[in-house]
Structure 1
């Protein structure tokens, strides 16, 4: 049997580093596109706000997931699972619906979505193992 708590913790640890790189690259690419490409100012502000919202949501999701996983508490992990939905929607926007999308952004967003889906799977597996009644065999 797979230790879902350990796997979930490793994925959250990996995500904390990858998301830092992802957010920095998205901010840099956004600045590059704003300077070099014709960009509507309202769209530019909306995408910057969405990146800021993603930064807050994903940071909160990683902190709650790690705190719940380490303490074996299900409530922070449940909140982390629910925060995966808006986080994945923000990354999907950057992946598909952004005004101008570079190939590098396709690759980074695809990796981020893959990481989030894998974390969601192991978080649900972790919640199933922590919420079942103990067996005294």
Structure 2
């Protein structure tokens, strides 16, 4: 199976680039929706607030996860795992409950949820390997 710490670190590194592209595309598509589609003002503000809070939460989550894997501090990784829940809920909102949804948004959100689910799996494996007793065989 390999080293879960290394796999988790690689997934976080990939996520740091993918999320930057994801947030940029979402912001661009929200701008396009605001300009060209009949979009209610309340829905536009709610979707924009969800996107900006998602950006903040995801940035903190990735930074904590990367610092935790590099320093072998389990509490940072556990906090990163707990921050996956609001981040996943924000992406699920953008995927399912947005007022208007483009196909590109659907694809990007589905890929982001898949990436987060994989990260969650390897983060839990990493935390479990930190909890086992050290053997010097």
Distance 1:131 1:28 in 2: 43
Between the aligned partners of 1:37 and 1:135, the Cα distance in structure 2 is 62
TM-score, normalisation: structure 2: 0.98
Q: What are structure 1's unaligned runs of at least 5 residues? A: none
CA RMSD of aligned residues (A): 0.7
Deviation at 1:133, TM superposition (A): 1.0
Gaps of 5+ in 2: none
Report 1:1-137 matches (<5 A): 1-137=1-137
Following superposition, the deviation at residue 28 of structure 1 comes to 0.2
CA–CA distance in structure 1, aligned partners of residues 128 and 85 of structure 2: 19
What is the CA–CA distance in structure 2 between the aligned matches of 1:9 and 1:135, rounded to whole Å? 23
Instruction: Tell me how far 1:136 sits from its aligned partner.
Output: 3.0
Aligned residues, how many? Answer: 137
Deviation at 1:5, TM superposition (A): 0.4
Q: Secondary structure at the match of 1:38?
A: coil
Q: 1:123 and 1:97 mapped to 2: Cα distance?
A: 28
